[in-house]
Amino acid sequence: MAKAPPARAIAEPPITNRERPAEPKPYEASKDELLAFYKQMLLIRRFEEKAGQLYGLGLIGGFCHLYIGQEAVAVGLQSALDGETDSVITGYRDHGHMLAYGIDPKVIMAELTGRGSGISKGKGGSMHMFSTEHKFYGGHGIVGAQVSLGTGLAFKHKYSNDGGICMAYFGDGAANQGQVYESFNMAELWKLPIIFVIENNQYAMGTSVNRASAEDQLYRRGESFRIPGIQVDGMDVLACRGAAEEAIAWVRAGKGPVILEMKTYRYRGHSMSDPAKYRTRDEVQAVRDKSDPIDHIKKLLDEQGVTEADLKSIEQEIRKTVNEAADFAEQTPEPDVAELYTDVLVESY
């Protein structure tokens, strides 16, 4: 019998000399910035709770994917972008990303209730909302599609040399889609300015990451394309923002794409119709108790001397905004029936 070659005799040592982004540091936020983060996250939380309620009342139909638990991700990351030049794209769990951009909660809620004054005139629904004004490109319902589309947006930034970058969000489920890797390949090959954000909320609908992913450390998923990845505590808005700063610096410097794996958790089911029997109530409760992103920022605010009373008044203000959005969404009329036939094509032939 031939002697077995020594293990790893031919294998090259792991590449360690490749340049990588620096290990991100938590963002050092001013008191005002912290307050702004808090307000945005709380707005998302309360908005989503209200959306859940309206769904229960039958005012919102179809699929409705709530962002509760993941607020720190959209708020932390998007706060680092340049709203004038940078673009954002995500999947169907998109309410939070829109709110994090300061888009009027009324037109978002009205879209959820399918009204003519919704941001997509009521024709898109929960999963299909866009704001080209804010360079927010949706709102896409096919798992993983936004990754290729986002790579296309990044292509546009580079082609037009407009200085912008794209932030493309997708979940741990989408991270297994083939087109994600096709996009990784081209993005690195062409050094496109894109941050691939994997919002790893642990469950792709009812399938946990390690039941679906051979490599469950998703930040490593770009390694074979030479795309560096960073794992981030997605429940800590400052960690999110800090990671965004590092990633943006890398991408804007023309070094190509980067992956941010945001470890987060959704408290609600995959969509409103998901009873979430695939995990225990204790598991969810433990996350809520120990890692809630809003509780976390509250502590930071407390350290900065923000009083309970201040927080309460913010809470009231946000509840008011959300209630107004809900009232508007209930009262504003459904789309004009003539709208059925508009916007199919842009031009007339």
Partner 1 sequence: MAIEIKMPALSPTMEEGTLAKWLVKEGDSVKSGDIMAEIETDKATMEFEAVDEGTIGKIMVAEGTDNVKVGTVIATLLEEGESADSAPTEARAGEAANAAPKETPSDDKAPPVPEGASPAKAESGTQQLVASAEKFGKTDPAIPEGTEMVKTTVREALRDAMAEEMREDDRVFVMGEEVAQYQGAYKVTQGLLDEFGERRVIDTPITEYGFAGIGAGAAMGGLRPIVEFMTFNFALQAIDHIINSAAKTNYMSGGQMRCPIVFRGPNGAASRVGAQHSHNFAAWYASVPGLIVIAPYDAADAKGLLKAAIRTDDPVVFLENELMYGRSFDVPKLDDHVLPIGKARIVREGKDVTIVSYSIGVGISLEAAEKLAEEGIDAEVIDLRTLRPLDTDTVLKSLAKTNRMIIVEENWATCSIASEIVSVVMEHGFDDLDAPVLRVTNEDVPMPYAANLEKLMLVDVAKVVDAAKKVTYR
Q: How many residues bind partner 1 (CB under 8 A)?
A: 48
Q: Closest separation between CB of residue 146 and partner 1, Å? A: 8
d(CA 319, CA 47): 8
**Is 63 or 278 the residue whose CB approaches partner 1 more closely?**
63
Choose which of 26, 52, 83, 141 interacts with partner 1 (CB under 8 A).
141
**Is 76 or 122 the residue whose CB approaches partner 1 more closely?**
122
Q: Which residue has the tokens 């991100």?
A: 24
Choose which of 92, 101, 130, 267 interacts with partner 1 (CB under 8 A).
130
Which residues from 43-102 bind partner 1, rule CB under 8 A? 87, 89
Choose which of 145, 238, 239, 272 interacts with partner 1 (CB under 8 A).
145
Interface mask toward partner 1 for 168-187; x: CB under 8 A? ----------xx--xx-xx-
Asked whether position 149 contacts partner 1 by CB under 8 A, the answer is yes
Q: Are strands 194-200 and 203-204 parallel, antiparallel or unpaired?
A: unpaired
What separation in angstroms does the CA of 143 have from each of 74, 215, 341? 18, 19, 27
**Is 173 or 269 the residue whose CB approaches partner 1 more closely?**
173
Residues 6+ apart with CB under 8 A from 204: 171, 172, 173, 174, 176, 212
Asked whether position 256 contacts partner 1 by CB under 8 A, the answer is no
Compute, in degrees rounded to 10, the torsion defined by CA atoms 160, 80, 45, 263: 100
Instruction: Describe the crossing of helices 293-303 and 237-252 by its angle, rounded to 10 degrees.
Output: 100
**Is 148 or 202 the residue whose CB approaches partner 1 more closely?**
148
**Is 129 or 287 the residue whose CB approaches partner 1 more closely?**
129
Asked whether position 140 contacts partner 1 by CB under 8 A, the answer is yes
Q: Which residues pair with 229 in a beta bridge?
A: 259
Asked whether position 122 contacts partner 1 by CB under 8 A, the answer is yes
d(CA 137, CA 89): 5
**Is 33 or 182 the residue whose CB approaches partner 1 more closely?**
182
Choose which of 75, 88, 108, 153 interacts with partner 1 (CB under 8 A).
153
Segment contacting partner 1 by CB under 8 A, of 18-26, 41-49, 117-125, 279-287: 117-125
Interface mask toward partner 1 for 310-349; x: CB under 8 A? --------------------------------xxxxxx-x
Asked whether position 309 contacts partner 1 by CB under 8 A, the answer is no
User: What distance, in Å, lies between the first and last C-alpha atoms of the chain?
Assistant: 76
**Is 50 or 121 the residue whose CB approaches partner 1 more closely?**
121
Type of residue found at 290: K
How many beta carbons lie within 10 A of that of residue 160, not counting itself? 9
Segment contacting partner 1 by CB under 8 A, of 137-145, 232-240, 249-257, 298-306: 137-145
Q: Closest separation between CB of residue 193 and partner 1, Å? A: 12
Asked whether position 193 contacts partner 1 by CB under 8 A, the answer is no
What separation in angstroms does the CA of 122 have from each of 102, 107, 118? 20, 9, 5
How many beta carbons lie within 10 A of that of residue 185, not counting itself? 16
Question: Could you tell me if 202 and 171 are in contact, meaning their C-beta atoms sit under 8 angstroms apart?
Answer: no
For the chain, what is the largest distance between any 2 Cα atoms, rounded to a whole number of angstroms? Answer: 82
Residues of this chain that interact with partner 1 (CB under 8 A) are 87, 89, 118-124, 128-132, 137-142, 145, 147-157, 159-160, 178-179, 182-183, 185-186, 189, 342-347, 349
